[in-house]
Structure 1
Amino acid sequence: MDELISRINKADNLESLDKIRVEIFGKKGLITAEFAKLKDIANEEKKEFANNLNKKKDAFNNAISLKKTELENLELLQRMKDEAIDVTMFDEIPSVGALHPVTITMDRIIDYFIAQNFSIENGPLIEDDFHNFEALNLPKYHPARDMQDTFYMNDKRLLRTHTSPVQIRTMQNFKPPIRMIAPGAVFRRDFDLTHTPMFHQVEGLVVEEEDKVSFANLKYILEDFLRYMFGDVKVRFRPSFFPFTEPSTEVDISCIFCKSSGCRICSHTGWLEVLGSGVVDPNVFKFVNYKNVSGYAFGLGVERFAMLLHGVPDLRSLFEGDLRLLEQFK
């Protein structure tokens, strides 16, 4: 028995192990021959003989089973080594991904306003006429609606043309004070060098008790924000018109490309228009049942900022998925 156990333990492959198994358990094997002797043994000795034989049988089975598992694992490891493939030999050098320039710009804008204690608010992309136009002091047939080429789904539903509806929804759901920005996608029927059917805006709104917020507050935060985004630039406010603010202003910065000396990008004026702003029109507060409050609002196009920050000449290239452009932002 000890000799067979030793042979089992020394077996170096499954084939030799199986030969030993046949020697022990085969038709002419050792155990089979031993069991055949039972018929010739006296009855009083059969039980002890059978017990000893079963112990030997179990010992052989355990030894063979352990050795078989060991040899199968070794065989598997060897096969894995033999079949291993170095995938780096058949692939290009892996490239590192990067955030999209619009995402980079959006994150930078949001970081600033979060630091100024503004909350982030969101709203639906599919809007109704009330939130997108009427509550923003744009009643039906108002000529200013022509400024926004709208995608209408039906008479009541449309793709929002700006993120200003989020300001209305926020005022409907919360009481002052409100200090929020609304970043997100908007949709208009435009497509040229500086317009695409889908683009991104960040609009801001601050509402406080009456006389606690003024145009001076708006001017301060926008000047600080624009210098945060573009560095040491000059900022100017020009009178303009927006139905939902009064007074309304367009905000320009000194050209970051020519340092105000005049170039093609700034149309030789030395200034770049970057956003619109103003004091919230009292009519807007009436739509949300606000009384005795004051506030200011502002809005900017994220793609416009991305183009200026990264020197992208054509807005459409930001949405074409051209890797030659996107790989520059690794």
Structure 2
Amino acid sequence: MATISHTLESELQTLQQEAQVAIAAITTLEEVEQLRINYLGKKGQLSRILGAMGKLSPEDRPRIGSLANEVKEALQTHLDQQRETLQKAQLQAQLQAESLDVTMPGVNRPLGRLHPLNSTVDRVLDIFVGLGYTVATGPHVETDYYNFEALNIPTDHPARDMQDTFFLADGRLMRTHTSPVQIRYMENHEPPIRIVAPGRVYRRDTVDATHSAVFHQVEILAVDKGLTFTDLKGTIKEFLRQMFGADLPIKFRASYFPFTEPSAEVDVQWKGKWLEVMGCGMVDPNVLKAVGYDPEIYTGFAAGLGVERFAMVLHQIDDIRRLYNSDLRFLRQF
């Protein structure tokens, strides 16, 4: 028994000496953890030595156990001290590497500005979200069903001539309005719903001072029990009041849209002249049926506007093409 006791005592002392030398030579935090596992881990050298304590006599166990604890605490202390030393050195090196010379002149980067189209869209959305509407979006590449048929525009309907568009090889097309967003939203939601759908649209149009083949729209849709044209008029009047910041004279003119009935154009009196700014109407029952709504229970209204038209009115822009040319002389005005 005495031989085992002396052997364990010698091994513990040797372990402590070797470990202290190894710890002193550590240069990285990773090595600290590796040595901790090697010496103090569950399968480390200290655990291996202590595994033989079962062979000791009852008189030797307390002494060897006490010595083992002393060795363990000494090694743990050395490891902690070395870890702290390395962390401080690492932090100091990082501070030196990332130090800034506050006396050097800063780099001047000009601040950007919102494009007038983006700021106009944001302004429109802020108003409708404030009225309780949810923003909804959809794909730019659409199917004939969502872009036309579900909106009560069947094949060969004359209204398709007003929205001639770009077709892809697989039969899909670039959407001509954001109205398909309304169909997709209604297919996945039950009334009541109130959404505002902004986005880019595409039509085969001749580019001039007031037309573009690619432009932007914002449309709204509300569906609930008991909605009437009065609700539509009140919504549009409040929107235009907030948009233009004044109680402008507003006129509703009878018009035609395949997906609304009755339909109307909205004019505002701007600088002494009547200016058409929106189209609107009550959702056609056929559109409600296409998405599985019962038109005997639910009614709805929709309205849409061209963002470019509103931006041109708000900022007194004379040519729509100025909005797309990325001319900094023009954009810096906003």
The bucket for the TM-score relative to the shorter chain is 0.5 to 0.7
Measured in 2, the distance between the counterparts of 1:95 and 1:322 equals 16
Give 1:215's aligned amino acid.
F
Task: Give the C-alpha shift of residue 227 in structure 1.
Answer: 1.1
Q: Aligned with 1:139: secondary structure?
A: coil
Give 2:192's aligned amino acid.
P
Q: Aligned with 1:328: secondary structure?
A: coil
Matched, 1:278 2:278: no
Measured in 1, the distance between the counterparts of 2:333 and 2:204 equals 29
The residue aligned with 2:313 is: 308
The residue aligned with 2:332 is: 327
Task: Give the C-alpha shift of residue 286 in structure 1.
Answer: 1.3
Q: Aligned with 1:200: secondary structure?
A: strand
Matched, 1:253 2:256: no
Task: Give the C-alpha shift of residue 130 in structure 1.
Answer: 0.3
Task: Give the C-alpha shift of residue 94 in structure 1.
Answer: 4.2
Measured in 2, the distance between the counterparts of 1:166 and 1:145 equals 18
The residue aligned with 1:196 is: 212
Task: Give the C-alpha shift of residue 155 in structure 1.
Answer: 5.8
Matched, 1:224 2:238: yes
Give a deviation string over 1:145-167, Cα, whole Å, max 9, x none. 00012011136300000000000
Q: Aligned with 2:323: secondary structure?
A: helix
Measured in 2, the distance between the counterparts of 1:226 and 1:182 equals 17
Q: Rg larger in 1 or in 2?
A: 1
The residue aligned with 1:167 is: 182
The residue aligned with 1:264 is: none
Matched, 1:297 2:313: no
Give 2:290's aligned amino acid.
F
Q: Aligned with 2:150: secondary structure?
A: helix
Q: 1:36-55 to 2 correspondence within 5 Å?
A: none
Measured in 2, the distance between the counterparts of 1:154 and 1:180 equals 32
The residue aligned with 1:176 is: 191
TM-score by length of structure 2 reads 0.67
Query: Residue 288 and residue 180 in structure 1: after superposition, are their counterparts in 2 closer, same or farther (change >3 A)?
Result: same
Matched, 1:234 2:240: no
Measured in 1, the distance between the counterparts of 2:322 and 2:314 equals 15
- The alignment of Structure 1 onto Structure 2 pairs a total of residues equal to 235
Q: Aligned with 1:290: secondary structure?
A: coil
Task: Give the C-alpha shift of residue 136 in structure 1.
Answer: 0.4
Matched, 1:131 2:146: yes
The residue aligned with 2:29 is: none
Q: Aligned with 2:332: secondary structure?
A: helix
Percent of residue pairs bearing the same amino acid type: 53
Give 1:275's aligned amino acid.
M
Task: Give the C-alpha shift of residue 86 in structure 1.
Answer: 5.6
Task: Give the C-alpha shift of residue 188 in structure 1.
Answer: 1.0
**Divergent runs of 4+, >6 A:** none
Task: Give the C-alpha shift of residue 289 in structure 1.
Answer: 1.4
Select which of 186, 197, 201 maps to 1:186: 201
Matched, 1:102 2:107: no
Give a deviation string over 1:68-119, Cα, whole Å, max 9, x none. x9xxx9xx99xx99xx99666xx8x643210000011000000001111100
Measured in 2, the distance between the counterparts of 1:313 and 1:154 equals 37
Measured in 1, the distance between the counterparts of 2:146 and 2:109 equals 47
Task: Give the C-alpha shift of residue 231 in structure 1.
Answer: 2.5
Give 1:218's aligned amino acid.
L
Give 1:201's aligned amino acid.
Q
Q: Aligned with 1:106: secondary structure?
A: helix
Measured in 1, the distance between the counterparts of 2:185 and 2:109 equals 45
Q: Aligned with 2:333: secondary structure?
A: helix
